[in-house]
Amino acid sequence: MAIEQLYSAHVNKLRAYREALSLLYWDLRTGAPKKGVDLRSETIGTLSAEEFALATSDSFGDMLAELEAKNEALDPVLRRSVEESRKEYDLSKKIPPEKFKEFVVLQAKAESVWEEAKEAADFSLFQPYLEKLVAMTKEMIGYWGEKNGSPYNTLLDQYEPGMTTEVLDEVFGALRSRIVELVRKISESADKPETAFLFGHFPKEAQRDFSYRILGQLGYDFEGGRLDETVHPFMTKINRQDIRVTTKYDEQDFRSAVFGTIHEAGHALYEQNLGAELAGMPVETGASMGIHESQSLFFENFIGRSDAFWKRNYRLLQETAPDLFADVAQKDYLRAINEAKPSLIRIEADELTYALHIMVRYELEKGLFNGDLEVKDLPQLWNDKYEEYLGIRPANDAEGVLQDVHWAGGSFGYFPSYALGYIYAAQFKNAMLQDLPNFEDLLEQGNIGPIREWLTEHVHRHGAMKKPLEILRDATGEGLNAEHLASYLEQKYTKIYQLN
């Protein structure tokens, strides 16, 4: 067999394992019976180990070396795929197997200790594990080799290829001062939205119907996916023709289902519209965490929280839940769903303050890996930064430094992607307006097609053929630029809160 075919067969085998694993997880999170969970975890562990052995086999390494030797002769999809495979391969393979195993065991242990610590609102329980996780991650950076000039940049590059603290410091800095200023003005505004009517009883079945309607309107392909209920919503690719979304129906707060569904639809539309020429190859995936998040946030915020979208859909919502909305005017509803108010918990944050939560985490991570920040100092610094940026201070570690699982899982350098996604999204929106000045009319007509096609043309179809900043530049003519997000937020909240 030619080397190209060997590579393709190996990649296909890995794909099969990943489909099985994705389905095992999806099932676990959407309705697997609870008694079967322990055995399911064992099954996932066993198949993950098998998949890992295949992904890091010496024979796969040999294939990659052989393909790299004929680099220029490869077609572009194969060439970029080999680059992606190499990156993944080295990430695992450069670490001595016993170190890797030690890290996996530590992660599992740390996650369970983190749960207990959060329960007890006591960081000191978790501290020794986090110290060990940071130390081991530093050790692994040593094995990987420093990328882009600093240890933390090595981590950033794993989630957001090419991203550096130099870029983030500048961009986040500029954005932060403008958001903080807006938050301050809003807190002083006398004209705050009424929101009580959002929290009436909204039956699950009705929320489900509404979610299906909206997914259809956004162009989600139900023949290549499905919608299910879960506790922490997610999108998952089972295979490239089977992209599933999930949502959560809270009968006392319908927003989690509606905005969650729209958010996951953004992720799903990315995966459903990858270029056909990428089929089956490692580049058949999103370009980065941040670019993926840009698509979900584009849909959630620029579509789902917009005036035009609700001009189209508010009547449907009223019909779906007349008890809640029959007597509420559309403009009051729109103000209510766009309320901005500093809060302590990231995953409950609103559109305006969300990025501030991310910045706190980013600065702390950077200090841990590039500076001399010590783990023991995190709770104090965390609380200080919340006070500085959001004007509120956690009363304990559970609503402070212990709120997210990411660090317990050894994921450092991941958080910035959330804010980057938002900045990218605003840049895409700005560029899109050049081509589709009738953006709002389209939303009001429920005609999402041209908007989705623009995103497919400039983002979706390329998969991982381009790096994130290449996608951004090709789509917008710019590098990373927070100006668009900042102005969008200023305009939006000035209007909503009648700021000066």
> Contact positions toward a copy of itself, by CB under 8 A?
12-13, 15-17, 19-21, 23-24, 27, 31-40, 42-43, 46-47, 50, 221-226, 238-242
- Tell me whether residue 6 or residue 106 sits nearer to a copy of itself (CB atom): 6
Find out whether 162 and 288 touch, Cβ atoms under 8 Å: no
C-alpha pair distances (Å), 495 with each of 195, 238, 355, 410 = 17, 42, 20, 41
Query: 245: which DSSP letter?
Result: E
Count of CA atoms in the C-beta half-sphere (13 A) of 55: 23
What tokens appear for 428 in the block? 């895409």
- Tell me whether residue 268 or residue 360 sits nearer to a copy of itself (CB atom): 268
Q: To the nearest whole angstrom, how small is the minimum distance from the Cβ of residue 180 to a copy of itself?
A: 45
For residue 114, is it left (φ>0), alpha (ψ between -120 and 50) or beta? alpha
Q: To the nearest whole angstrom, how small is the minimum distance from the Cβ of residue 494 to a copy of itself?
A: 44
- Residues whose CB is less than 8 angstroms from the CB of residue 395 and which lie 6 or more positions away in sequence, other chains included: none
Q: To the nearest whole angstrom, how small is the minimum distance from the Cβ of residue 2 to a copy of itself?
A: 20
- Tokens 């983030």 appear where? 168
- Tokens 């986090």 appear where? 130
- Tell me whether residue 36 or residue 479 sits nearer to a copy of itself (CB atom): 36
Q: Would you say the C-alpha torsion 78, 11, 414, 297 has a positive or negative sign?
A: positive
Find out whether 17 and 50 touch, Cβ atoms under 8 Å: yes
- Tell me whether residue 19 or residue 111 sits nearer to a copy of itself (CB atom): 19
- Tell me whether residue 200 or residue 280 sits nearer to a copy of itself (CB atom): 280
Distance CA 447, CA 58 (A): 51
Report which secondary-structure segment, H or E, holds 381: helix 378-390
C-alpha pair distances (Å), 426 with each of 30, 257, 362, 475 = 32, 23, 20, 12
Catalytic annotation, residues = 264
- Tell me whether residue 61 or residue 224 sits nearer to a copy of itself (CB atom): 224
- Tell me whether residue 284 or residue 293 sits nearer to a copy of itself (CB atom): 284
Task: Tell me how many degrees the CA angle 39-43-45 measures, rounded to the nearest 5.
Answer: 115
**CA torsion angle 443 447 448 449 (round to 10):** -150
221: closest CA among 156, 144, 273? Answer: 273
Q: To the nearest whole angstrom, how small is the minimum distance from the Cβ of residue 435 to a copy of itself?
A: 29
Q: To the nearest whole angstrom, how small is the minimum distance from the Cβ of residue 22 to a copy of itself?
A: 10
